[in-house]
């Protein structure tokens, strides 16, 4: 059985059936399918009519096989269940679709899927290109590159070996370091960064941490010993539970850099159950500027997510069209936003 069979046991019509019914050659049908202007209007009509009559649908696999193109891009990310990736994906797709490309998503979700992703014959590598988001190939693949010769670009990770577009997380960390309120004889806590499965991490958190500490220690003369990193998972739930139990061993105000707004949000609510509030009892700055961040008055660092998505799509398209010979290594700048929690 090597023809698609539809419900009644009938066969899907092929380009041949259309050609026969329209009384033209297969080549002509192919041309009207691809909007070739050299087809005579009368023939075009006939073909279009036959297509409709037969309910003909072109077979994408045959098309890909013979043309070597799919007009399809794969978007890979660790998860999709968060605002960052949804917005990033939307902006990528917008640019792609303006250029005649469609996109499918492949969230890793599990170790099992990661394994599939590392198989060179995976379907993803048979689309025209890939955008890989918030994932570090260094940690995922032995030779630190994707097992393919198809063009791809990394987004939201800094990578020396592969083409990439990212937001400068070191600078973002510095911004927090510049703006966070410090209190005498007091500690500064860094909250977050814990990734249960290291293979899925992108390295952005550690860059934020380094930028933050550099700024604090080198430019504001803060004692490094008073900076403590507390690992918390990247979810409201975990941060909340952490905040519920967290007891700063001091009476006076302290400062917190939460590596993501969702962490800040959960933590703030958790602390409230203890009667400890920002900015009265401590200062806290988040990272991301998500949809709810303004509402909860969270001081944070805004990432240009849409710009990031669009730029990565544009660059990938250029690579596909061989417009690029040299390495792509583009960084975008985040912005500090002061609100009420700092």
Partner DNA sequence: CTGAAAGCGCTTACAG
User: How do beta strands 300-302 and 335-337 pair?
Assistant: antiparallel
Segment interacting with DNA (CB under 7 A) among 12-20, 84-92, 188-196, 295-303: 12-20
Interacting residues with its own copies between 29 and 68 (CB under 8 A): 55, 57-62, 64-68
* Closer of 8 and 221 to its own copies (Cβ): 8
Q: Which of 86, 197, 231, 338 binds its own copies (CB under 8 A)?
A: 86
Closest CA to 132 of 110, 109, 157: 157
Note whether 217 binds DNA by CB under 7 A.
Answer: no
Cβ at position 298, least distance to its own copies in Å: 12
- Give dist(CA 126, CA 145) in Å, integer: 16
Show the site string, 35-74: x = touches DNA by CB under 7 A, - = not: --xxxx-xx------------xxxx--xx-xxx-------
Considering only residues 104-133, where is the footprint of DNA by CB under 7 A?
none
The verdict on 89 binding its own copies (CB under 8 A) reads yes
**Tokens (6 digits) for 279:** 């900015």
Regarding 235 and contact with its own copies (CB under 8 A), the answer is yes
Contact status: 122 vs its own copies (CB under 8 A): yes
Which of its own copies, DNA, none is residue 24 near (CB under 5 to 8 Å by kind)?
DNA
The answer to the question of residue 106 lying near its own copies (CB under 8 A) is yes
269 touching its own copies, by CB under 8 A: yes
Interface with DNA, residue 33, by CB under 7 A? yes
281 binds DNA (CB under 7 A): no
- For its own copies, the binding residue among 38, 121, 247, 249 (CB under 8 A) is 121
Q: How far is the CB of 325 from DNA (least distance, A)?
A: 24
Residues that bind DNA (CB under 7 A): 1-4, 11-12, 14-16, 23-28, 30-31, 33-34, 37-40, 42-43, 56-59, 62-63, 65-67
Residues that bind its own copies (CB under 8 A): 1-7, 12, 55, 57-62, 64-68, 70, 72, 79-83, 85-87, 89-90, 93-94, 97, 102, 104-107, 109-110, 112-113, 116, 120-123, 125-126, 149, 235-237, 240-241, 266, 269, 291-292, 295-296
């Amino acid at each position: 059985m090597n023809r698609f069979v539809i419900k009644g046991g009938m066969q899907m019509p092929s380009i041949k059936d259309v050609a026969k019914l329209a009384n033209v050659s297969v080549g002509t049908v192919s041309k009207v399918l691809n909007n070739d202007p050299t087809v005579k209007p009368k023939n075009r009509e006939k073909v279009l009519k036959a297509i409709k009559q037969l309910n003909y649908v072109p077979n994408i696999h045959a098309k890909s096989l013979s043309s070597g193109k799919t007009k399809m891009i794969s978007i890979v990310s660790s998860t999709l269940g968060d605002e960052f990736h949804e917005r990033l994906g939307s902006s990528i797709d917008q640019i792609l679709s303006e250029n005649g490309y469609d996109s499918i998503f492949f969230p890793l979700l599990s170790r099992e899927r990661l394994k599939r992703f590392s198989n060179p014959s995976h379907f993803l590598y048979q689309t025209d290109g890939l955008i890989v988001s918030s994932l570090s190939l260094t940690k995922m693949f032995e030779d630190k590159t994707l097992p393919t010769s198809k063009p791809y670009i990394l987004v939201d990770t800094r990578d020396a070996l592969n083409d990439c577009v990212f937001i400068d997380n070191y600078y973002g960390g510095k911004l927090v370091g510049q703006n966070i309120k410090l209190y005498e004889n007091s500690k500064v806590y860094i909250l977050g960064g814990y990734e249960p499965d290291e293979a899925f991490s992108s390295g952005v958190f550690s860059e934020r941490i380094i930028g933050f500490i550099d700024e604090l220690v080198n430019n504001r003369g803060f004692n490094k010993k008073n900076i403590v990193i507390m690992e918390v998972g990247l979810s409201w739930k975990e941060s909340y539970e952490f905040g519920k139990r967290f007891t700063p061993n001091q009476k006076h105000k302290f400062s917190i850099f939460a590596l993501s707004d969702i962490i800040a949000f959960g933590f703030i609510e958790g602390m409230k159950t203890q009667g400890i509030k920002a900015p009265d009892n401590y200062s806290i700055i988040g990272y991301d500027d998500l949809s709810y961040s303004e509402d909860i008055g969270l001081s944070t660092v805004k990432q240009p997510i849409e710009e990031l998505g669009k730029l990565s799509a544009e660059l990938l398209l250029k690579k596909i069209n061989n417009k690029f010979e040299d390495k792509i290594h583009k960084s975008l700048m985040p912005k500090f936003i002061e609100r009420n929690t700092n």
